[in-house]
Amino acid sequence: MKIIDSHCHLDRVDLAAFGGSMDSLLAHAKTLSVEEFLCVCIDLEHFEDVFSLAKKYSQIYASVGVHPCELEGQDPSVAELLALADEDNIIAIGETGLDYFHVEKDTADWQRDRFRWHIQASNQSGKPLIIHTRNAKHDTIQIMQEEQAEQGVMHCFSEDWDTAKAVLDLATQTFHTQPV
CA neighbours closer than 13 Å in the CB half-sphere of residue 140: 29
pLDDT in tens, 65-74: 999 999 888 8
Helix (H, G, I), strand (E, B) or coil at 126: coil
Domain ranges for the chain, please list them.
3-177
Specify the CATH superfamily of domain 3-177: Metal-dependent hydrolases (3.20.20.140)
CA dist 85 → 6, 41, 58, 121 (Å): 17, 11, 17, 9
Predicted TM-score (pTM) of the model is: 0.89
| 170 close to 131: Cβ distance less than 8 angstroms | no
pLDDT in tens, 120-148: 999 999 999 999 989 998 999 999 999 99
CA 98, 102, 105, 108: dihedral to nearest 10 degrees?
-70
